[in-house]
C-alpha cells in the first residue's frame, strides 16, 4: 500500500514562496516523507538543545542556537499540522448543501 501524497499547495506560506520564484515546481510529498522529516528535525532540535546547554551563557553561540531551536520548533508544528489536516471531500459537501437556514 502506497502512502497518499500530501498537498502542500494549500499552505499560504508555500503559495507565497511559489509566487515569488517562477522556477519552483511543486512536488508530491507522502505522509511517510513528512514523518521522516519530523524525525530528522526532532533529532536536530535535541542536538541543538544539548549544544546550547553546554555553551557559555550570553554567548553569540547561545543566541544563534536559541533562534535555530525556535525555527525548528516552528517547522515541526507546521509539519504536524500538515499530517493532521484531512483532505476535503467535495462530494460529501454537496453542491446544494445549505450552510445557513433561510432568513425569515
Range of the domain at 58: 30-84
| Residue 7 confidence (pLDDT) | 59
Residue 52 located in a structural domain:
yes
Q: Which helix (H) or strand (E) holds 5?
A: strand 5-6
Task: Read off the pLDDT of residues 5-21 as tens digits, 9 standing for 90 and up.
Answer: 555 566 555 565 555 55
Q: Which residue has the cell 499560504?
A: 12
Residue 11 located in a structural domain:
no
What is the Cα 34 distance to its own chain's centre?
9
Residue 71 located in a structural domain:
yes
Residue 3 pLDDT > 60:
no
Residue 22 located in a structural domain:
no
| Residue 45 confidence (pLDDT) | 96
Residue 97 located in a structural domain:
no
Residue 72 located in a structural domain:
yes
Task: Read off the pLDDT of residues 50-95 as tens digits, 9 standing for 90 and up.
Answer: 999 999 999 999 999 999 999 999 999 998 888 887 665 656 555 5
Burial class (CB in 10 A: 0-12, 13-18, 19+), 33: middle
What is the grid cell recorded at 59? 554567548
Q: Please count the other Cβ atoms lying within 10 Å of the Cβ belonging to residue 65.
A: 19
Domain count, the chain: 1
Higher pLDDT, 95 or 46: 46
Amino acid at each position: 500500500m502506497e502512502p497518499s501524497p500530501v498537498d502542500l499547495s494549500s499552505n499560504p506560506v508555500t503559495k507565497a514562496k511559489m509566487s515569488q520564484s517562477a522556477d519552483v515546481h511543486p512536488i508530491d510529498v507522502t505522509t511517510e516523507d513528512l514523518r521522516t522529516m519530523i524525525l530528522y528535525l526532532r533529532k536536530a532540535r535535541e542536538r541543538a538543545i544539548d549544544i546550547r546547554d553546554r555553551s557559555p551563557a550570553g554567548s553569540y553561540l547561545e543566541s544563534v542556537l536559541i533562534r535555530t531551536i525556535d525555527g525548528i520548533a516552528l517547522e515541526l508544528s507546521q509539519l504536524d499540522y500538515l499530517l493532521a489536516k484531512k483532505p476535503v471531500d467535495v462530494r460529501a459537501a454537496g453542491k446544494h448543501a445549505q450552510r445557513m437556514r433561510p432568513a425569515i
